């Protein structure tokens, strides 16, 4: 089904899609979008490659193998951000720096714990959606193969 | 003979823990008690408040002291039993761990001074007992009994919680000492007191909740010994003793306890008298014995409170020993029924003497702790009047009869089955407890002191009782002698009584409260099954099961909400035209989604609805939401198509060619109208209402700069409502794990 045009276009779109996802994530605290949107955009970029190239080639071409594991990295990071304030006697999800305090900025990106939490959401959504895509694709391949045997 | 298996550390560690707990409680108590008070959740008025007062010391000493004896017994009883059943030795660790949890929660319950804390430990004892009763989890009987104990005590525990909340609503505190200072007699107190008392009565297996206790004796003997004496059942009277300052303000509650205690004495005794099964006989006797305690609390007054505490001590020591005796006899001979054993006195002299002393203690023969317990019981009864006194004598006579029958049946008469030699640890704890019972009959000081202090904690005033032997014709002595005489007569005419007793038991089986329990269980199960069957019949009923109740709840909400200013039709301005066009598109797409028969078309039309909604958000000025809506819609449409490609070829085509059933179509239309119509009503009502001056939205926008943010939506997700987000992303992770489980047996790659 995939033609040379779809393959080329998909290939060309991958880098911009990832860039947009990254931008949405970084600008999350300043502009439209957040970790969730960024995660879905990045996962859709990967889905595009699956559609254009098929599972095997897409997974050979890109380091997708590690992506589903990111879901659990993200969950862990979220829990860490949530629970670390307890050590200092604060309620969970007390973000640092406190209101009014100075914030270190790298361009638009603000180095605050809330942004770390947003990144955790990004990782989790990206990992989970990619993992689901991979599993569906793999199951599809397997059912096709067993269909061939019959 | 190498019978001792190379063991785990579980048993020695638990025995050491029990002994250490006993020593620590003793030392702290001798040092004048102690208090621990720490905030738990101050915003909810919850405190971790513990105090080692007389009542706490009494039950903590019982839980740890009898715990040590029972754990020692269990260390010789459980490993061979596990081996017989072919179960792993690691289960020993689980068993002893649960016993220690049981003990710990009893100590916590004894020392807790806060109603909510009390409730927590209360349920912990129920949880521990559930797992201990269902120790033989392959046996259906054990499982039924365990769930029954859990349900009866767990459901009634809710009464304790409700009673506590009633008191909190009135007086603003959960602390029992503070409540005791503040409460006023009245209907609120009577209601709360009755609820709390009922929870306690269910736990100590009083009529009409008595049926769970005899069932619970399917547990291994050490569990029964512990559960019937120092844990679980004792927790019931502990609660009554703890809440007594509140309960005694209401004469109605006291009278209720008096009646229930009296009925329980009679029912328990009469059923115990006719039983052939050793442990069952003891189980019914427990109901009757705790009936004494409840009866005493119901009599009211300081002497009765102290007498109740004294009775608990005397009963716990002897009853745990008697259960262990039953277990030892069964272990040695294989006989579980009175009619299967007999004449064992010569074969097991140590056991015969030790358990004989314990029986003597419960039936109140002189030179035992129990004699004083009954002396106090008679004294309190006499104060109340002749009727109560006569009843007390009759009750004590019944006790004498059934326990006499128990001991005589095992150890005297013709030898039925020869006994094997017993491991030391199967009789030494019984002997130790018997020694304590006799010691208490000689040196009663420490015991009556403890009971007086416990009584004082219950009535919040002096409740000194002193006990001694009096060789004169005072009422208590005459009553004791009459009770023995009645008991001896009853034993002598046991044969004559047997048919009547059996008929009484059969009557209980037919009309007893256990029938109600099972009937309710069947009813609830049936209702749950019917709802479940309807819900899972097909995808349509499943969706209807969500939409229709949600719609009806919304309807209730709509009816209950004041409609002032709502449901007005606003004017249409020029700039709204774009929004209206998009909304019309959404509506048309939604309607269109009901027509296609092909699944792929359906998905694409549904995606159109989603995109149109996204456009609506954009027109409303919510670009964040619009972005998410577009992304989610895209992902879902693609995932739908991906899943379709997994289905075997032809299935979808075949499904789409199935004829549509008219009746079902009408039903679906109705479901759609109910849910959609009410959602419309709610949306209209909310959106047409004039906006409040300062909504939560305004506050979020105002506070966003404080959180170093320019984008309000992101800061709500990551900061203001971060806990919600954490919950949601956890759901995403679980959904991922679910897909991996369904498709690939849990492999994520």
Averaged pLDDT, B269-292: 90
> Mapping DSSP to helix (H, G, I), strand (E, B) and coil, where does residue B250 land?
coil
Among B298, B316, B347, B350, smallest CA distance to B194 is for B298
Cβ pairs A/B, distance under 8 A: 155
What separation, in Å, do the N-terminal and C-terminal C-alpha atoms of chain A show? 23
Averaged pLDDT, A12-23: 93
List CB contacts (< 8 A) between A130 and chain B.
none
User: Which residue of chain B comes nearest to A67, CA vs CA?
Assistant: B749
Measured between alpha carbons, how far is residue A68 from residues A75, A128, A133 in Å?
12, 6, 10
Using CB atoms within 10 Å of the CB of residue A147, give its burial: 0 to 12 exposed, 13 to 18 middle, 19+ buried. exposed
Distance in angstroms (rounded) separating the CA atoms of residues B297 and B262: 11
Averaged pLDDT, B420-435: 89
Kindly determine whether residue A29 and residue B714, on different chains, have CB atoms separated by under 8 Å: yes
Kindly report which listed range (A137-141, B6-10, B568-572) carries the lowest average pLDDT score: B6-10
What separation, in Å, do the N-terminal and C-terminal C-alpha atoms of chain B show? 56
Say whether residue B460 is in contact with chain A using an 8 A CB cutoff.
no
Q: Which two tokens stand for residue B217?
A: 């004796």
Measured between alpha carbons, how far is residue B57 from residues B121, B230, B312, B444, B698 in Å?
16, 13, 13, 17, 57
**DSSP H/E element including B629:** helix B623-646
User: pLDDT tier at A19 (50, 70, 90 boundaries)?
Assistant: very high
**b/e B198-231 (16+ beta carbons within 10 angstroms → b):** bbbbbbbbbbbbbbbbbbbbbbbbbbbbbbbbbb
Per the listing, tokens 């009925």 go with B263
User: Which residue of chain B comes nearest to A64, CA vs CA?
Assistant: B749
Percent of chain B residues past pLDDT 70, beyond the cut: 99
Per the listing, tokens 């009813």 go with B523
Within 384-413 of B, beta carbons closer than 8 Å to A belong to none
pLDDT at B3: 47
Distance in angstroms (rounded) separating the CA atoms of residues B692 and B563: 15
Q: Which two tokens stand for residue B114?
A: 């806060």
Kindly determine whether residue A40 and residue B635, on different chains, have CB atoms separated by under 8 Å: yes
Measured between alpha carbons, how far is residue B646 from residues A47, A97, B639, B694 in Å?
16, 49, 11, 51
pLDDT at B592: 92
Mutation choice for B interface testing from A23, A37, A110, A113 by most B CBs within 10 A: A37
Mutation choice for B interface testing from A29, A52, A72 by most B CBs within 10 A: A29
**DSSP H/E element including B433:** helix B424-442
Q: Which long-range contacts (CB under 8 A, 24 or more apart) does B737-746 make?
A: B739/A131, B739/A132, B739/A135, B739/A136, B740/A131, B740/A135, B743/A135, B743/A136, B743/A138, B743/A139, B744/A135, B744/A138, B744/A139
Beta bridge partners of B50: B36, B112
Say whether residue B496 is in contact with chain A using an 8 A CB cutoff.
no
Beta bridge partners of B37: B49
User: pLDDT tier at B445 (50, 70, 90 boundaries)?
Assistant: confident
pLDDT at A73: 93
Mutation choice for A interface testing from B729, B734, B738, B744 by most A CBs within 10 A: B729
> Of the spans A122-131, B37-46, B440-449, B513-522, which averages the highest pLDDT?
A122-131
Kindly determine whether residue A29 and residue B624, on different chains, have CB atoms separated by under 8 Å: no
Averaged pLDDT, A8-16: 91
Kindly determine whether residue B706 and residue A131, on different chains, have CB atoms separated by under 8 Å: no
pLDDT at B692: 67
Does residue A147 have a pLDDT over 80?
no
Dihedral of alpha carbons B577, B582, B585, B587, sign: negative
Our CA-based measurement puts residue B109 at a distance from the nearest CA of chain A, in whole angstroms, of 29
Within 641-700 of B, beta carbons closer than 8 Å to A belong to 642-643, 645-646, 648-649
Kindly determine whether residue B631 and residue A44, on different chains, have CB atoms separated by under 8 Å: yes
pLDDT at B198: 93
Say whether residue B717 is in contact with chain A using an 8 A CB cutoff.
yes
Averaged pLDDT, B514-529: 91
Question: Using one digit for the tens of pLDDT, what is the confidence trace for B644-680?
Answer: 877 777 888 888 888 888 888 888 888 888 888 888 8
Beta bridge partners of B48: B38
pLDDT at A150: 42
Return mean pLDDT, chain B.
87
List CB contacts (< 8 A) between B707 and chain A.
95, 99, 114
Kindly provide the ipTM of the predicted complex, given to two decimals. Answer: 0.92
Cβ neighbours for B665, distance < 8 A, ≥ 6 positions apart: none
Judge whether B749 and A65 are in contact, CB under 8 Å: yes
**b/e B686-712 (16+ beta carbons within 10 angstroms → b):** eeebeeeeeeeeeebeebbeebbbebb
Question: Using one digit for the tens of pLDDT, what is the confidence trace for B220-246?
Answer: 999 999 988 888 899 999 999 999 999
Kindly determine whether residue B736 and residue A117, on different chains, have CB atoms separated by under 8 Å: no
Question: Using one digit for the tens of pLDDT, what is the confidence trace for B392-406?
Answer: 998 899 999 999 989
**DSSP H/E element including A76:** helix A67-87
Kindly report which listed range (A11-20, B323-332, B603-612, B655-664) carries the lowest average pLDDT score: B655-664
User: pLDDT tier at B464 (50, 70, 90 boundaries)?
Assistant: confident
Q: Quote the pTM value.
A: 0.75
Averaged pLDDT, B142-168: 92
Does residue B6 have a pLDDT over 60?
no
Averaged pLDDT, B62-91: 89
Inter-helix orientation angle B445-459/B369-384, to 10°: 40
pLDDT at B8: 76
Q: Which two tokens stand for residue B514?
A: 């256990």
Distance in angstroms (rounded) separating the CA atoms of residues A143 and A141: 6
List CB contacts (< 8 A) between B648 and chain A.
143, 147
Averaged pLDDT, B502-513: 82
Between A28, A41, A93, which is nearest B722 by CB? Answer: A93
Averaged pLDDT, B332-346: 85
Torsion angles phi and psi, residue B234, rounded to 5: -65, -30
Among B111, B99, B109, smallest CA distance to B75 is for B99
Averaged pLDDT, B174-203: 90
User: pLDDT tier at A149 (50, 70, 90 boundaries)?
Assistant: very low
Distance in angstroms (rounded) separating the CA atoms of residues B29 and B601: 78
Q: What is the DSSP string of B195-237?
A: HHHHHHHHHTT-TTSTTHHHHHTTS-HHHHHHHHHTSTHHHHH
Distance in angstroms (rounded) separating the CA atoms of residues B139 and B134: 8
Among B109, B345, B82, smallest CA distance to B220 is for B82
List CB contacts (< 8 A) between A131 and chain B.
736, 739-740, 748-749
Kindly determine whether residue B718 and residue A139, on different chains, have CB atoms separated by under 8 Å: no
List CB contacts (< 8 A) between A35 and chain B.
717-718
Among B152, B130, B240, smallest CA distance to B196 is for B240
pLDDT at A108: 79
Judge whether B749 and A141 are in contact, CB under 8 Å: no
Among B438, B563, B372, B460, smallest CA distance to B178 is for B460
Does residue B546 have a pLDDT over 80?
yes
Q: Which long-range contacts (CB under 8 A, 24 or more apart) does B610-614 make?
A: B610/B636, B610/B637, B612/B582, B612/B585, B612/B586, B613/B586
Please report, to the nearest 10 degrees, the dihedral formed by the alpha carbons of residues B396, B398, B403, B408 taken in order: 120
User: Which residue of chain A comes nearest to B643, CA vs CA?
Assistant: A136
Residue with more model confidence, B566 or B418? B418
**b/e B606-644 (16+ beta carbons within 10 angstroms → b):** bbbbbbbbbbbbbbeebebbbbbbbbebbbebbbbbbee
Between B708, B726, B732, which is nearest A29 by CB? Answer: B708
Kindly determine whether residue A136 and residue B732, on different chains, have CB atoms separated by under 8 Å: no
Averaged pLDDT, B45-69: 89
Kindly determine whether residue B722 and residue A75, on different chains, have CB atoms separated by under 8 Å: no
Averaged pLDDT, B129-148: 91
Q: What is the DSSP letter of A98?
A: P
User: Which residue of chain A comes nearest to B741, CA vs CA?
Assistant: A135
Kindly determine whether residue A30 and residue B711, on different chains, have CB atoms separated by under 8 Å: yes
H helices within B31-139, ranges in order?
54-84, 90-111, 115-133
Kindly determine whether residue B733 and residue A75, on different chains, have CB atoms separated by under 8 Å: yes
Say whether residue B638 is in contact with chain A using an 8 A CB cutoff.
yes
User: pLDDT tier at B709 (50, 70, 90 boundaries)?
Assistant: confident
User: pLDDT tier at B217 (50, 70, 90 boundaries)?
Assistant: confident
Measured between alpha carbons, how far is residue B157 from residues B118, B239, B373 in Å?
10, 11, 29
Judge whether B64 and B18 are in contact, CB under 8 Å: yes
Our CA-based measurement puts residue B707 at a distance from the nearest CA of chain A, in whole angstroms, of 6
CB atoms closer than 10 angstroms to residue B140: 9
User: pLDDT tier at B1 (50, 70, 90 boundaries)?
Assistant: very low
């Amino acid at each position: 089904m995939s033609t040379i045009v779809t393959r080329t276009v998909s290939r060309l779109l991958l880098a911009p899609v990832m860039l947009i996802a990254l931008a949405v994530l970084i600008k999350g605290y300043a502009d439209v979008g957040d970790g969730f949107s960024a995660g879905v955009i990045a996962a859709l970029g990967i889905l595009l490659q699956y559609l254009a190239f098929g599972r095997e080639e897409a997974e050979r071409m890109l380091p997708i193998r590690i992506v589903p594991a990111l879901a659990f990295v993200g969950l862990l990071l979220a829990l860490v951000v949530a629970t670390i304030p307890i050590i200092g006697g604060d309620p969970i999800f007390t973000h640092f720096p406190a209101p009014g305090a100075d914030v270190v900025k790298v361009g638009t990106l603000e180095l605050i714990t809330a942004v770390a939490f947003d990144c955790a959401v990004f990782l989790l959504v990206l990992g989970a959606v990619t993992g689901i895509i991979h599993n569906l694709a793999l199951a599809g391949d397997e059912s096709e193969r067993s269909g061939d045997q019959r | 003979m190498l019978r001792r298996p190379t063991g785990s550390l579980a048993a020695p560690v638990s025995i050491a823990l029990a002994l250490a707990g006993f020593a620590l409680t003793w030392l702290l108590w001798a040092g004048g008690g102690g208090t621990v008070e720490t905030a738990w959740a101050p915003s909810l008025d919850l405190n971790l408040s513990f105090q080692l007062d007389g009542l706490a010391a009494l039950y903590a000493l019982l839980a740890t002291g009898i715990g040590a004896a029972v754990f020692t017994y269990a260390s010789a009883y459980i490993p061979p039993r596990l081996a017989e059943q072919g179960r792993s030795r690691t289960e020993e660790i689980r068993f002893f761990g649960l016993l220690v949890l049981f003990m710990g929660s009893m100590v916590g319950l004894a020392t807790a001074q806060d109603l909510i804390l009390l409730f927590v430990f209360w349920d912990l004892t129920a949880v521990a007992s559930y797992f201990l009763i269902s120790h033989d989890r392959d046996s259906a009987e054990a499982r039924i009994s365990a769930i029954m104990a859990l349900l009866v005590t767990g459901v009634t525990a809710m009464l304790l919680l409700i009673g506590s909340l009633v008191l909190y609503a009135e007086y603003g505190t959960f602390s029992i000492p503070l409540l005791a200072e503040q409460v006023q007699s009245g209907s609120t107190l009577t209601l709360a007191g009755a609820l709390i008392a009922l929870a306690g009565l269910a736990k100590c297996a009083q009529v009409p909740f008595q049926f769970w206790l005899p069932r619970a004796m399917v547990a291994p003997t050490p569990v029964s010994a512990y559960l019937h004496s120092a844990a679980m059942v004792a927790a019931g009277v502990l609660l009554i003793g703890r809440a007594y300052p509140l309960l005694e303000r209401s004469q109605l509650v006291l009278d209720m306890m008096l009646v229930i205690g009296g009925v329980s004495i009679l029912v328990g005794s009469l059923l115990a008298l006719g039983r052939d099964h050793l442990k069952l006989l003891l189980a019914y006797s427990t109901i009757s014995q705790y009936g004494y305690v409840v009866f005493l609390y119901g009599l009211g007054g300081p002497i009765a409170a102290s007498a109740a505490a004294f009775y608990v001590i005397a009963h716990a020591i002897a009853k745990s020993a008697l259960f262990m005796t039953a277990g030892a006899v069964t272990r040695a001979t294989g006989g579980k029924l009175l009619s299967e054993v007999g004449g064992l006195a010569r074969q097991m002299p140590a056991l015969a003497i030790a358990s004989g002393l314990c029986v003597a203690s419960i039936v109140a023969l002189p030179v035992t702790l129990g004699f004083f317990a009954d002396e106090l019981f008679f004294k309190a009864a006499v104060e109340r009047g002749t009727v109560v006194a006569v009843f007390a004598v009759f009750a004590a006579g019944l006790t004498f009869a059934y326990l006499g029958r128990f001991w005589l049946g095992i150890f005297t008469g013709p030898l039925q089955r020869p006994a094997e030699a017993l491991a030391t640890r199967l009789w030494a704890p019984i002997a130790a407890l018997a020694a304590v019972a006799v010691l208490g009959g000689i040196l009663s000081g420490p015991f009556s002191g403890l009971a007086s202090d416990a009584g004082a904690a219950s009535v919040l005033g002096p409740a000194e009782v002193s006990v001694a032997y009096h060789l004169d014709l005072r009422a208590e002595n005459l009553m004791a002698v009459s009770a023995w005489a009645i008991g001896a007569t009853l034993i002598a005419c046991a044969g004559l009584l047997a048919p009547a007793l059996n008929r009484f038991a059969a009557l209980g089986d037919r009309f007893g409260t256990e029938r109600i329990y099972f009937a309710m269980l069947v009813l609830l199960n049936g209702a749950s099954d019917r709802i479940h069957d309807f819900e899972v019949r097909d995808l349509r009923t499943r969706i209807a099961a969500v939409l229709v109740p949600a719609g009806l709840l919304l309807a209730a909400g709509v009816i209950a909400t004041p409609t002032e200013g709502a449901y007005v039709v606003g004017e249409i301005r020029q700039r709204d035209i774009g929004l209206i066009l998009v909304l019309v598109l959404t509506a048309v797409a939604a309607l269109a989604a009901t027509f296609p028969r092909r699944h792929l078309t359906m998905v694409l039309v549904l995606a159109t609805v989603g995109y149109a909604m996204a456009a609506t958000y954009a027109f409303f000025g919510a670009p964040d939401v619009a972005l998410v809506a577009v992304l989610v819609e895209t992902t879902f449409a693609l995932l739908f198509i991906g899943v379709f490609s997994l289905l075997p070829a032809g299935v979808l085509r075949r499904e789409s060619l199935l004829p549509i059933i008219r009746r079902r179509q009408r039903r679906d239309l109705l479901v759609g109208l109910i849910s959609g119509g009410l959602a419309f009503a709610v949306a209209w009502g909310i959106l047409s209402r004039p906006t409040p001056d300062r909504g939560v939205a305004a506050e979020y926008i105002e506070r966003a700069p404080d959180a170093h943010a320019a984008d309000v939506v992101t800061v709500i997700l990551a900061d203001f409502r971060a806990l919600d987000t954490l919950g949601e992303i956890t759901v995403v992770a679980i959904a991922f794990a679910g897909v991996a489980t369904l498709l690939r047996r849990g492999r994520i790659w």
